[in-house]
């Protein structure tokens, strides 16, 4: 499912990322981990697409394929630059530099993503040096401006990462990401490692920066309560495959996939009198090197029928661009996050 038009900044088509499994002294190939198994979506310029799912569902791998930290096994990653689409999977590694200026990544762990032996000036200024954009006084001036934009005092410019809290370190990481004035940012669980009290501050900062710089986000997360406040549309993944895609409000009010319903049931309800009906999924997430037949979710689905174990569900539009991969989507009435208010 792709809607190709001029408003799309990125189009991902049938993306697959298989990691080989070797055994024995001779390193014989015995299988593959199907981390991403046929994922397709688009992101419009200026919007935020939330990408959610349990740990191990492949969402981070999708992000790393887009920035070409991984070379995808198959599929297309079409990035719109100067009015034309370029397939990033076909660009030789040595020629990716021009596209890395446009596509940047915010990492999950602000403690390990910053070099402890570099000052803030060196960390934020490094992209400017690598791409030969600024040096000397001009570089220092630009770094100070970036620090101010992310809410940090310029007096911190000579300090090292160990002098900062987790929230401050993530702000430094965001400043580094903004240094090259990117158009698309892959935010890989950008607040999951932070205290709850700090998460809202960083999310609000990202939304403000989006408006200021005209940014487009792929916001990867497992916490649907965070995704709700930042995303225009949400793509739910399970075991490397797509489960559901729709605008954020529709997803929370009217989920069509049983897996989405289970994820929403785990979101805390703060409204007085609102009941919580937590859906506990039986068993564990299946091994991605040996996924279940038919619908990958059927062994854990409380609504599963015989067809679910035999046939892979088609990705279909249920109306109003609400896409789902479920045989029973038009037969079930699932619980949304506000249905019981």
pLDDT tens column, 243-254: 999 999 999 999
Which tokens sit at 218?
């792929």
In a domain, 143, yes or no: no
In a domain, 333, yes or no: yes
What pLDDT, in 10s, does the model give residues 270-285? Answer: 555 555 578 888 888 8
Catalogue the E-assigned strands of the chain. 8-23, 28-44, 48-52, 74-81, 84-87, 103-106, 184-188, 216-221, 233-238, 241-247, 316-317, 323-324
- Give the residues across from 43 on adjacent strands: 10
In a domain, 136, yes or no: no
Which tokens sit at 158?
């000579």
Determine the Cα–Cα distance for residues 182 and 26; give it in Å rounded to an integer. Answer: 44
In a domain, 261, yes or no: yes
In a domain, 301, yes or no: no
In the predicted structure, residue 203 carries a pLDDT above the cut 60: yes
Share of the chain above pLDDT 90, in %: 72
Determine the Cα–Cα distance for residues 327 and 304; give it in Å rounded to an integer. Answer: 9
Return mean pLDDT, the chain.
91
SS3 23: strand
Tell me the mean pLDDT in the region 113-121: 93
Q: What is the phi/psi pair of residue 279, to 5°?
A: -100, 115
In a domain, 302, yes or no: no
Which pLDDT band holds residue 340 (cuts at 50, 70, 90)? very low
Determine the Cα–Cα distance for residues 141 and 123; give it in Å rounded to an integer. Answer: 14
Are 303 and 328 within 8 A, CB to CB? yes
Q: Kindly report the CATH number assigned to the domain that includes residue 335.
A: 3.40.50.300
In a domain, 147, yes or no: no
Sequence-ordered list of residues with C-beta below 8 angstroms from that of 330, at least 6 positions apart, any chain: 318
Which pLDDT band holds residue 72 (cuts at 50, 70, 90)? very high
Domain that holds residue 247: 1-102+184-196+214-281+313-341
CA angle 149, 105, 113 (to 5 degrees): 85
Which is more confidently placed, 112 or 208? 208
pTM of structure: 0.91
**pLDDT confidence of residue 341:** 41
Domain count along the chain = 1
**pLDDT confidence of residue 238:** 96
Catalogue the E-assigned strands of 107-232. 184-188, 216-221
What pLDDT, in 10s, does the model give residues 25-55? Answer: 888 988 999 999 999 999 999 999 999 998 8
**pLDDT confidence of residue 339:** 47
In a domain, 4, yes or no: yes
Give the range among 94-108, 180-194, 209-223, 262-276 with minimum mean pLDDT. 262-276
């Amino acid at each position: 499912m792709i809607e190709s038009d001029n408003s799309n900044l990125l189009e991902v088509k049938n993306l697959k990322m298989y990691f080989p499994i070797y055994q024995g002294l001779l390193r014989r190939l015995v299988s593959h981990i199907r981390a991403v198994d046929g994922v397709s979506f688009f992101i419009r310029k200026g919007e935020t697409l939330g990408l959610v799912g349990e740990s191990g569902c492949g969402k981070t791998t999708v992000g790393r394929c887009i920035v070409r930290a991984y070379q995808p096994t198959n599929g297309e990653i079409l990035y719109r630059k100067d009015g034309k689409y370029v397939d990033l999977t076909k660009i030789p590694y040595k020629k990716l530099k021009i596209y890395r200026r446009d596509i940047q990544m915010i990492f999950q762990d602000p403690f390990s993503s910053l070099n402890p032996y570099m000052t803030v000036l060196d960390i934020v200024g490094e992209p400017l040096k690598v791409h030969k954009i600024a040096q000397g006084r001009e570089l220092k001036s630009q770094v100070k401006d970036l620090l101010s934009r992310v809410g940090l005092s310029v007096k911190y410019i000579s300090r090292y990462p160990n002098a900062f809290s987790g929230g401050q370190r993530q702000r430094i990481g965001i400043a580094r990401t903004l240094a090259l004035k990117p158009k698309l940012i892959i935010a890989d669980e950008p607040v999951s490692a932070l205290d709850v009290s700090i998460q809202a501050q960083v999310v609000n900062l990202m939304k403000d920066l989006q408006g200021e710089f005209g940014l487009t986000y792929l916001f990867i997360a497992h916490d649907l309560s965070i995704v709700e406040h930042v995303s225009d549309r949400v793509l739910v993944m399970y075991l490397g495959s797509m489960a559901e895609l729709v605008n954020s409000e529709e997803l929370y009010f009217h989920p069509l996939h049983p897996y989405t319903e289970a994820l929403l049931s785990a979101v805390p309800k703060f409204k007085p009198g609102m009941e919580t009906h937590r859906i506990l999924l039986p068993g564990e997430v299946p091994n991605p090197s040996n996924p279940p037949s038919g619908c990958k979710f059927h062994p854990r689905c409380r609504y599963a029928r015989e067809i679910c174990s035999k046939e892979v569900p088609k990705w279909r539009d249920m109306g109003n661009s609400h896409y789902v991969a479920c045989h029973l989507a038009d037969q079930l009435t699932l619980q949304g996050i506000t249905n019981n208010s």
